[in-house]
Amino acid sequence: MLRKEWGLHQRLWGHHRLTDRRHKSTVQYASRPDLPKLAYTRVKGKSPGVVFLPGYGSNMNGKKAEALGEFCKSLGHSFLRFDYTGHGASEGTLADGTVGIWKKDVLYVLDELTEGPQILVGSSLGGWLMLLAAIARPEKIAALVGIASAADHFVTAFNSLPLETRKELEAKGEWSLPSKYTEEGSYKFSMDFLREAENHCVLHSPIPITCPVRLIHGLKDEDVPWHISMQVAERVLSPDVDIILRRNGQHRMSEKDDIKLMVYTIDDLIDKLTTMV
């Protein structure tokens, strides 16, 4: 019933309505002592709440976040989305960011801006950060939904380069990772960024997460290989783990059917979690 209602909402949406709603969303700013302010929007509601974690270089106004916010509102569940330091409307510079800084952003949001257990929905980098947050704050996490999860991705991608290439890049002090999502055609990372990121890698040992985990990945993802989601599934200790592979899914997973799948997955989790209680 809920899904049918939401499907009707979806059909009623037009591009202009989405655009209008973005402008109407009230962006708030969380002030932190000696740290950049974080931009966020929040809709209060029932528990479990849902928190959306975007990808690297992205922001809280993407299609997935917008659709998820509308869905949570229709169910009456709380929903929060925000921009990491150096992203979107938050303070700071992207080039100065690290995985550790963005992990602290997520933990701050969980500690200070949410109440009760949350379902974390992480896209790409957000899929890595949701794992780090669940390890650090197990009591705050009801479930995890990873979309094209990029666990350890920066480090793994660099380490997969030929040794000679790595030595050259280390001497240069910078590495360019090709990307079609930026005007320059690539993201530039310093060796310091990669060394810091190594401290947050999770795929080298069992991952101490016991809540329900859902992992959605596209087989045509050219940015983050789908087998990363398989590795996450193999390493988390939770007995309740499902992987959904979309044959034609690409990295952003922003097509109508991709978003529908994400929403249905979260709907099932909410149903399961509230039934368990």
pLDDT digits (tens, 9 = 90+) for 24-64: 568 999 999 899 999 999 999 999 999 999 999 888 898 99
- For 62-118, how does the pLDDT look when each residue is reduced to its tens digit (9 = 90+)? 899 999 999 999 999 999 999 999 998 999 998 899 999 999 999 999 999 999 999
Instruction: Enumerate domains of the chain plus CATH numbers.
Output: 2-150+203-276 (3.40.50.1820), 153-200 (no CATH)
Does the active-site annotation cover 123? no
Q: Which residue of the set 77, 200, 217, 251 is catalytic?
A: 251
Whether residue 7 has pLDDT greater than 80: no
**pLDDT digits 0-9 by tens, 173-192:** 999 887 777 777 888 899 99
What pLDDT score does 272 carry?
94
β pairing state of 241-246 and 213-218: parallel
Specify the pLDDT at position 24: 52
Per-residue pLDDT at 1 exceeds 50: no
Instruction: Say which of 221, 223, 229, 258 is annotated catalytic.
Output: 221
Structure confidence at residue 50 (pLDDT): 98
pLDDT band at 2 (very low <50, low <70, confident <90, very high): low
Q: pTM (2 decimals)?
A: 0.90
User: Over the chain, what is the mean pLDDT?
Assistant: 89
Catalytic-role residue among 124, 149, 200, 229: 124
Position 8 scores a pLDDT of 42
251 belongs to the catalytic site? yes
